[in-house]
Every structure is written in structure tokens, then in C-alpha cells.
A and B are shown apart, each in its own frame.
Chain A
């Protein structure tokens, strides 16, 4: 990694040059919610003025540039009894500006699943390789808990990462592309003051977290609490809408559907992102549902994110952005659910310890 410092004005020029002739996406305010807070989304941007560099967090994550909601995997052209199958792995280059550290961490987790597994996914790889990712750090929101998940900093998976140090950006350059583009702009080597400012900035972020989830031994606790009434309690609130998986930056479950073209000469196989909270997620042909109750499905979501994935990939799938908590219509958020589970254990501890820890 190479470090440079660029003034904010020069950086604006750099982004402008980048945005000018490339398909670019950056955070934009699209609406305000019922509390009057701004709602941001990654939207197409055409000039640097469009980009809200001081945004808080986007409602949807950046995964949809790599895993679209809906994507045609292959197309069949029928000729009599036979057919021809077309699969394209092409991806248009895209510039993503202003991703948060947790968004980039989520992409790294997706890389782990979709590229390093038994069966790498060529479509995802094409998109991932044809992207130019500029990350930006930010001060944590009141409900972010990425520090608990250890995703408040990121060291890989981006081309360029900007840390705000007053009137300059401290750049972490992680690819030759970014390095070459920056040659055209005025940058300087970081000096002692810049380094101090970066450390200060990191500390400010580190100490800014107001929400904390204790994930110590969470896989074990999830195992022990598998039949806990906590799941039923939260499951009863769940509306099975699947919003949590849609906004999650690292959820990747999907469903395949095939449909004939209207002229019946062809058919297409489509991949649609799915959610494990939808009722028919685990229904097999014949009608047997392996997870019939709301609580079962909610439990499965937490179980996969914090237990199953942790076992297979030695990290938890959750990055702690709390998008699911913000988006949930029923007010379910990971902090409350996990704390509830832990409380369950700690109430058992009361018999041995006279002063149970307050949560």
C-alpha cells in the first residue's frame, strides 16, 4: 500500500475527471424519512457536485453493483428439440465513490464466498474486477456497531481509500490503476503532521461508537440458545418481508427462476436475490417446510451470519452497519436480539454471582 496526501480541492478535481467519462455512482440524497433525516442512496453521478461527500450512510448497500437484485444468468434459444445456451460474463466498468469501510469489508466477505469457494462465480468476478472503488471513512452513526465486528477499518478490497484529515485527504492507494490516475494530480508524501492527523482521526472514529455488541463466544452462545424462547419472541414480531436481506451488504442468498419468452422460442434463467426470512425459503417440492415458523427463519438468519459462516470462513458475515435494524418494519435489530440472547445466559449466572452485570 502506498500513502499520499491530497488537498480536498485537488481531490475534487480528481473525482471530477474520473466521473466525467465513466459510469459512476456516488451517495446522493434521495429523500427524507419520517423523522426528517436525509436518506442517501448510491445513485448515478455525472459531476463531483452531485456527490454528497458528507453523507451518513446509504439505505441500500453497495453490493447491488456486484449482485444485482435481478440478473439473467443464461438464455436459451430453442431450435426444435435442441437449444443453444448463451451465457455472458461481461461487465461494464463502474466507478464507486464514497463507500464506507464496512461496505468494502462486506465486499471482501462476498469475495470470500463467491470467489474463493469450491465454485467461483465468473459473473461476480467480472464485476468485481471491472470496478474502481473509492472508500471514505466517516464518524460512526449512533447505531453503527462495526467496531464490535472489527470492520471499522479496512485494509484491502478497494482501489483508493480516503481518510479525512482537516483540509486534506490521507489516501491509501491499493492498486496500480489508482496510482496511475493520481499521477496527473498534485499529491505529496505524507509528513509527520499528516501521520499524526491520521492517527487522531482513527482514534476519533474508534472512540465515537455508541453501540456495542459483545460478540465474544457468540457462536457457542447461538448453539446453546438454539431452543431459546428469545427466537419465538422476536420471530413473533417478524413480518417475513425480507427487507433485512435486501439492504444487507453481505447477504447473497438467491433464487433461480426460469421463464419462457413470450414468443416461446426461448427461455431465460434469472437469478433473484432472496431472503431467508421469506416463508418459502426452505420449502421442498411436496410442501415440506424445513423452517415453518417465523422464529425458525429469524434464528436461521442470525445462525448463518454469526455461527455458520464463522465456522466456514472464520469470520462473521455481519459487518455491523445496522442497515437491517434501520430498515426493519418491525423494529428488530441485531443489537437487541443478540443482547437478549446474552441476557438469557447472564440471568442464569445470577445464581452464582451476586451482582449480575447490567446491560
Chain B
């Protein structure tokens, strides 16, 4: 039913038409999955968590007051669920300095900066882990603002709505996240370069 509006779908679900919830899942699954991927970096976990987000949304649909867009409400659930998942997982902290020494010894190199096209870069598994680890190490608010901006390409206004802060704060969080990421990664790559020079 393409002409049916979101409030009508919600009303229908709340009046007992459970199957109408599928319309909302199909509409928003890609966006929620992407957000979960930003936090978890694992397809299987992200799929599980996306399911949890929708089940939770269904269970609490009656508490959705429709003062914000449904997508904003779903994003909030996804962000909270992802942060809770990360806290409960208690993943061992990956030390970038240790990684860099190991990688240097293993001959893992820096990507060639002469490339202008990002498609030309081949990413090793270790490099991917490095980026993920640097992202995981960001404070929660910076991480959320960065993920919503980079993974979901959301405008700052929408991110501000999801995080319930003003747009200026979002801008500041994204900038700080970028700076922190660069610091972590630069330290790692400089370490690799100097170690390889010694070798």
C-alpha cells in the first residue's frame, strides 16, 4: 500500500494489524543496518542488532508520540542499542602502537598517497581492523555524530534531532571525532614508517 502514510501505518499496527509492521521494517532496514554496521563492523552482529531494534520498536510503538519523524525515533533506538551492545561485549582493547610494530614486521605498508581515486586502494584486513579500532576508541557522542554523518550521510540538522543537541554541537563533535581519528591513525602510520626505516 504505497499511498498509506506513516501515521496511518502506525495506527493500523496499534489497532492490531501486526503484519503492517513489515512495511516499516522494509522501509527502514537498510538505514538501521548501516548505522549498526558503523558501530559493530560485523555483518552478522549488525543484522542481529537490526532485528533487535525493530522488535524493540514494535514493542514500544505505543509510546512513540509522533512528535519527531519515525526515522529519528528508530535512529535513537539503533544508536542506544549499538552502544549497549558494545558495552556488553567488552571487546579487548586493540593497542595501535603494538599493532603498528607487528604490522611493520609483517611488511604491511602504508597506502600510496599518489592515488587520487579511493577505489585504487586495497585494504588489508589488518588495516580495516585498525580503522575500526580507532573508531571504537572515540567517545560515545563523537562516535555517534561521526557515524551518523559518514555512514548514513545525514545532515547535521537531523543528527542534532537524533542526539537531542544543537547543530553547532554536532559540528563540533564531528570535527573532534575527525581530529581524534587522524591523531590515532597518524601515530600508527608514523610508527610503521619509522619502524620500517629502521629495518
Query: Does B associate with A?
Result: no
| Chain A interface (Cβ < 8 Å from any Cβ of B) | none
| Chain B interface (Cβ < 8 Å from any Cβ of A) | none
